[in-house]
Amino acid sequence: MNPAHIDDFYFVTTEVLCQLYAAFPVRNLVLVEDISGPIKWDMTGLPDRKSRACFETIIWLANSGLLTFRSIEPRDVGVEGAVLTQPAFVLLTGLVAWTDGESESRIEALRDARARRAYDDLGTVVKDLFRANCAWSAPVPAEPLPRGAPLEITDEPPTGRA
């Protein structure tokens, strides 16, 4: 199981990549609030940890060569003029094979996992994308990826505390 901040990183990465893919090749405004919800500012004017981590993920994706942007919005609330890079577009349209024999593009796998709330699959596909984007390692042949179970939502209250 991943630490919560890593799961949040995979979620934000998925949201940003899906948003930019849907708008490609048009430049887009990517706002932290659209991804992680309203920003909660403290008394000194700094954003909460979750909002800051969301913004830093966007910057990290740009530094990793997956997107470019024109400018940072004031108070780090997002980036203006964001667009996928050519390598990111190629990686997202590349195929991933699942252990059940099914294959689909990475962007479809991300959209499907997001729709099914299969957060383990988000992490699996994002890690596969990063592995494929890694310039300092030798190319690794693609291996089938295991699918995780989707989150089941019930109307029953939780039973006890962990």
pLDDT at position 76 is 85
Contact in structure between 17 and 88 (CB atoms under 8 Å): yes
pLDDT-derived band at 48, boundaries 50, 70, 90: confident
pLDDT (tens digit, 9 = 90+) per residue, 67-108? Answer: 999 998 888 889 999 999 999 999 999 998 888 888 999 999
CA gap 80, 103 in Å, rounded: 34
Q: Mention every residue, 6+ apart, whose C-beta is less than 8 A from residue 158.
A: none
Contact in structure between 12 and 54 (CB atoms under 8 Å): yes
Listed by start position, the domains of the chain span 4-133
Q: How far is CA 139 from CA 59, 125, 132, 153, in A?
A: 25, 17, 7, 39
CA gap 73, 105 in Å, rounded: 32
In the chain, what percentage of residues exceed pLDDT 70?
90
CA gap 70, 83 in Å, rounded: 9
CA gap 27, 68 in Å, rounded: 9
